[in-house]
Amino acid sequence: MKDREPPPHYKTIRQALFEELLEGKRTVRELSQALRISEREVIAHLTHVKQSAPQKGFRFIMQPSECLNCGFIFQDRERQKKPSRCPRCKEEHLTNPVFGLEKLK
């Protein structure tokens, strides 16, 4: 992953986050590193990006976490944070959720 410059000062964190998501799908950790803010802050801002995306003509995409042990997919989960363990097999080996934006037709 290449080093990026911090977001310009004239942009808000949410504007910079929106632009990052337009470039492609990202995990919370990748967004945190790109914007140089904590993962907790990214999660808080993602909620607002999700709400404002339709008004800007975009659909918020969340590819849910998946258990690497049994394949369980957390489809109905609304929270952007990675789950701690699988409800089916109780393992903790899970993928991170991935987020992005898609232009509405």
Q: Say which CATH architecture domain 13-103 belongs to.
A: Orthogonal Bundle (1.10)
Confidence of residue 2 (pLDDT cuts 50, 70, 90): low
CA dist 56 and 10 (Å) reads: 19
| Segment 43-71 mean pLDDT | 92
Question: What pLDDT, on a 0 to 100 scale, did the predictor assign at position 89?
Answer: 93
Contact 69, 89 (CB under 8 A): yes
Tokens representing 90? 């109780």
Q: What is the pLDDT of residue 105?
A: 76
Give residue limits of the domains in the chain. 13-103
In this prediction, residue 77 carries a pLDDT of 79
Is pTM beyond 0.85? Reply is no
Contacts of 23 (CB under 8 A, 6+ apart): none
Instruction: Give 105's contacts (C-beta < 8 A, 6+ positions apart).
Output: none
User: pLDDT (tens digit, 9 = 90+) per residue, 3-42?
Assistant: 565 555 567 899 999 999 999 999 999 999 999 999 999 9
